[in-house]
Amino acid sequence: MSAGLPEIDSALLQRRIDELSLITEAESPAVTRVLFSDADLRGRDYVAGLGRSAGLALRVDAVGNMFARWVGSAPDAPVVATGSHIDAIPNAGKFDGVVGVLGGISAIEALQEAGFKPMRSIELIVFTAEEPTRFGIGCLGSRMLAGAIPLEKASVLRDPEGKSLDELRGRAGLKEALDSVALPKNFYSAFVELHIEQGPLLEQQHIPIGIVQAIAGPSAYRVRITGEGGHAGAVLMPGRRDASLAASELALAVEKAAHESGSTDTVATTGKWEVFPNAINSVPCGVMLEIDLRDTCLETRDRALVLMRSASEGIAARRGVEIIWEEINADPPADGDPKTMTIAEDVSLQLGLATRRMVSRAYHDSLFMARVCPTTMIFIPCRKGYSHRPEEYSDPAHITAGARVLAGTLARLSHQPL
């Protein structure tokens, strides 16, 4: 046990990451694992097999969150948890989420190999649908664990093919009622998530470990723009009510609002467009677009939203179109737990690893676990900050370092006074 902390089998961890990446709906090196797809279910089976091999007690809840527990000497005490997700958006990479799941298993195995005896049980969570690919809402599993989504809203979710959450989870063999998912009070004593940064700062500054002190709050909006269609050759320019041009103008207004919010952490993206009738020789009569707006500060996020909505009113009046906004979700930011952050920093120092405190501008399951228990995240560098693309890459040495910090942090948290 170097530096009093367990060693991670780096080669084994990397091999598992590579093996899981081959369970995909896309052609390698791209990874695609959409919730409850065949690839997603096979990926879950792969992780479950690793959990069983490590002697962990497995259970799956009604929405598909998977739990693998190393039972401690105080099994009735609130549990220490770690974990992340294995679902992947189309054409993604193999590290997002996976590092936290497989690194979590490696951390537990390393502690077992070192002879560590947990007092509080240690549990690995594989969260359902961190990515919004299937239902248009991210962190579905952790939202439901935290009670952060009304059951009536979850029960009416539909995917692009019209399939309901109940239909899809039923096909996956999940029959319990959704109201069984929410965690009781004081179920967990702490949660720590290992994750690639998905940004360039750690790599640029040659710092191996980031300690997340705040997670940006996400919000999303669906905007429907209705104009008037017509023949592309016959409708003259002065009389046009082109919905796509109004949408384009709104997209630029979204960008401008993010720049003018007063915060460098405000980011806004108009990433989804549907144009009707979507024909080259027809003036677009309708557009549906979706806006992602997030910030670490609610005040500046709200300021940006006000600017966007004000701009849309002017666009609607000027172009003779109707613009209707619908809120998809609007979640507050989360702060990292100071005590848990300090423990992770102390463990890093013990390992001789430099750290920096930072914010996560991407949101994660930790955003909702912070509503359940003290929470923080451990970031490791990823090359050029690439993520959500096949070029996503994290060096095995960085992954190993992150897993060692995680192992030491879990050990310390497990022995916190009851």
Q: For residue 191, list its beta bridge partners.
A: 81, 375
pLDDT tens track for 241-272: 999 999 999 999 999 999 999 999 999 999 99
Two tokens, residue 396: 């095995």
CATH 3.10.450.50 fits domain 2-216+333-414: no
Report domain 217-330's class.
alpha beta
First to last CA, the chain: 27
Which residue, chain included where needed, has tokens 């401008």? 256
Which residue, chain included where needed, has tokens 């093919």? 161
Q: Strand ranges (DSSP E) for 216-266?
A: 217-226, 230-231
Domain parsing of the chain, residue ranges: 2-216+333-414, 217-330
What does residue 351 show for φ and ψ, rounded to 5 degrees? Answer: -90, 0
pLDDT tens track for 336-365: 999 999 999 999 999 999 999 999 989 999
**Whole-number pLDDT of residue 136:** 87
Phi-psi category of residue 64: left, alpha or beta, with phi > 0 → left and psi -120 to 50 → alpha: left
* Beta-strand pair 31-33/88-92: antiparallel
Written as tens digits, the pLDDT of the chain (418 aa) is 444 789 999 999 999 999 999 999 999 999 999 999 999 999 999 999 999 999 999 999 999 999 999 999 999 999 999 999 999 999 999 999 999 999 999 999 999 999 999 999 999 999 999 999 999 899 999 999 999 999 999 989 999 999 999 999 999 999 999 999 999 999 999 999 999 999 999 999 999 999 999 999 999 999 999 999 999 999 999 999 999 999 999 999 999 999 999 999 999 999 999 999 999 999 999 999 999 999 999 999 999 999 999 999 999 999 999 999 999 999 999 999 999 999 999 999 999 999 999 999 899 999 999 999 999 999 999 999 999 999 999 999 999 999 999 999 999 999 999 8
Peptide bond into 150 cis (omega under 30): no
**C-beta neighbour count of 322 within 10 angstroms:** 13
Residues in the chain: 418
Determine whether 26 is exposed, middle or buried from the number of CB atoms within 10 Å of its CB (0-12, 13-18, 19+): middle
Cα–Cα distance for residue pair 152/373, rounded to 1 Å? 25
pTM given for the model = 0.92
**Whole-number pLDDT of residue 270:** 97
Cα–Cα distance for residue pair 212/333, rounded to 1 Å? 12
